[in-house]
Structure 1
């Protein structure tokens, strides 16, 4: 049985025109949503930056060993070694020896499965019809997520079974930094990771859970469920256990007795920062400020790209109309692509500029005035050159005969 097959479909020009009208509506909606996201992003960035500046000016560093009740209600910074009260447990691996101060235990399961890959090629034909050639290929791979073979174009012979062993995550109920108490989940992501050796892992609980239908054995890098690790079969599993070991942690939050809670700033944002290791309050705030700038630019980029895609969808009908002659359709698509790009570079900065005026009026107005001044300068230069050309053309004439 072949693990690859090809399907060819055709779409008429009139049907493509109908679909293009749907693209206009979808593109318009996408542009509106993207503009809203860009506007919201500027406000989010400004509010968070103000909150972080307020927190950085307000925070005080205190000793973690013994909470001082006089600091209740204040934004404080502590740093110190982590103590885990009771380590987490995995119900399938009872008696598992964990490293000291394990705060989280992850059971990661991969299954050997079929996956489908799709490759499409569209060919334009004279008259506006299109022919789409789709090639479906199937291969085997290890995946930690279930691949639904029922959605395959050709599921026969490529069926994936259900995961016999699920993923699992267990976290210590509580942990402490000096005299301050925290839920284990708050500090669980701050530890260093250690993969537990398969040959030292008790397997009795897993074997009992699976029954006699599965063979369980330790391998070089994982606990293997299947007959032969060197020749996996569909449905075989690889299980790894990872311990998150807490060492030192630094936290910024509002003190309430021996607890730290989120601190609400005057802008309404809440501050609660955690970091692995011995970090100063200044370092922690600077890290979050840098992350805020990075996130802001990522959303700006994604929003701008969404606007471009929206305009391309709105203009797609032009290319379809030109596809009566394929070469003309390609020319139209290139031209509308340039138009979409130009409109995007006008609209996206305009939306962000209006947002700046709304959230940072002084700076936004300065930027707007600077932009208008630059535009006026280029307009003046352009008019001057046109006037100079006209003047030069009018004064230059052949000499009259004597």
Structure 2
């Protein structure tokens, strides 16, 4: 009725500009989420940068070690001219006296013997905190292949434990044997609170075939430090050539590198999701990036995280492998190139429509 009687009256909000929230307003509205997102994004970048630096350093070290290693054909003779150098050899594993637990009747000629102790239904509030027995790892002091003695660092690499299976009954009556496990219990089938179960396992059994890459120091094998700063010390079961050992080591390092890459990318992606509102404002203000919004903010977050990840990776690899570094830069720029191409096509179509 008012508009009918007074048609020339000014319209409410006719001249008012449409308000668009600024970055500061978004920060004020969700500052905690934004701060967490920025920290997570920066932490992901830091992780990727550190990981790539480690990957490049490891690649340098393995390449250096591969060129420096000296194959040893006979382990029965120590070559003095190899002292202080990186050597490779394969042979039969020898140990000193068998590692034994007399009370349980267990004796294994191995590098390590682990005693694992478990207590049934142990509750801290009701029972004493200390176990009568503790989990222990016994280590043989003498480990060798031929005349080459294994140093402490090389012995530590024996970590693949195998369960000890024995039918020999313990001499003590309070210890019972069932299915390869030893029980400190009155009744194996009905254990009580506080009863103990003991399990034995070994690593590096005598007479196994092993292959080693390490530095010869006298008769002992120790880690070899490369000029890049990494230590080279390898132990594999079976007879492997130098090439096979280094390929296996490279494969292991690649799996670890890719795992950290995935974790770093995920951290950046989650961080970008936390600040997606702010990113949407930033992207929308630049025409070259605006076309990314047509595919949704999830695509924008993935594109930004992937691009930053590739660019950070390229910083580490450009000096060591320039071709790979260049490819990573191109991969990091792909979302921006994609947006530029779409923008160019759209402007070209609009020109044809005007004509």
Under TM normalisation by the shorter chain, which class is it? 0.7 to 0.9
- CA distance change for structure 1 residues 183 and 368 in 2, over 3 Å: closer, same or farther? closer
More strand as a share of residues: 1
Match of 1:30 among 35, 40, 52: 40
Number of equivalent positions: 309
Q: Distance in 1 between matches of 2:187 and 2:93?
A: 42
Bigger mean CA offset, 337-346 vs 349-358: 337-346
Quote how far apart the aligned CAs of 1:191 are: 8.3
Q: Check conservation: 1:173, 1:185, Cα contact below 8 A.
A: no
Quote how far apart the aligned CAs of 1:307 are: 2.1
Specify every segment of 5 or more residues in structure 2 that has no aligned partner in the other structure, as ranges.
1-27, 279-295
Match of 2:234 among 265, 273, 276: 273
Specify every segment of 5 or more residues in structure 1 that has no aligned partner in the other structure, as ranges.
1-17, 115-147, 151-158, 208-214, 318-334, 396-402
- CA distance change for structure 1 residues 313 and 297 in 2, over 3 Å: closer, same or farther? same
TM-score under structure 2 normalisation? 0.73
Match of 1:344 among 305, 308, 324: 305
1:237 aligns with 196
| Pairwise CA RMSD | 3.6
Verify: 1:98 aligned to 2:107, yes or no: yes
Q: Check conservation: 1:82, 1:175, Cα contact below 8 A.
A: yes
Q: Secondary structure at the match of 2:120?
A: strand
Q: Secondary structure at the match of 2:61?
A: helix
2:262 aligns with 301
Quote how far apart the aligned CAs of 1:241 are: 1.2
- CA distance change for structure 1 residues 149 and 108 in 2, over 3 Å: closer, same or farther? same
Q: Check conservation: 1:110, 1:237, Cα contact below 8 A.
A: yes
Q: Secondary structure at the match of 1:200?
A: coil
Q: Check conservation: 1:190, 1:275, Cα contact below 8 A.
A: no
Q: Check conservation: 2:311, 2:332, Cα contact below 8 A.
A: no
Verify: 1:51 aligned to 2:61, yes or no: yes
Quote how far apart the aligned CAs of 1:375 are: 4.7
1:180 aligns with 148
1:76 aligns with 87
Q: Check conservation: 2:170, 2:176, Cα contact below 8 A.
A: no
Match of 1:195 among 147, 163, 167: 163
Q: Distance in 2 between matches of 1:105 and 1:373?
A: 55
Q: Check conservation: 2:96, 2:140, Cα contact below 8 A.
A: yes
Q: Distance in 2 between matches of 1:85 and 1:364?
A: 51
Q: Check conservation: 2:184, 2:196, Cα contact below 8 A.
A: yes
Quote how far apart the aligned CAs of 1:47 are: 1.4
Verify: 1:288 aligned to 2:249, yes or no: yes
2:271 aligns with 310
Q: Distance in 1 between matches of 2:277 and 2:350?
A: 40
Q: Check conservation: 2:154, 2:222, Cα contact below 8 A.
A: no
- CA distance change for structure 1 residues 26 and 357 in 2, over 3 Å: closer, same or farther? same
Q: Check conservation: 1:38, 1:351, Cα contact below 8 A.
A: yes
Q: Distance in 1 between matches of 2:128 and 2:155?
A: 36
Q: Distance in 1 between matches of 2:271 and 2:329?
A: 26
Quote how far apart the aligned CAs of 1:357 are: 3.4
2:49 aligns with 39
Quote how far apart the aligned CAs of 1:97 are: 4.2
Match of 1:171 among 139, 142, 145: 139
Q: Distance in 2 between matches of 1:21 and 1:371?
A: 29
Bigger mean CA offset, 46-55 vs 20-29: 20-29
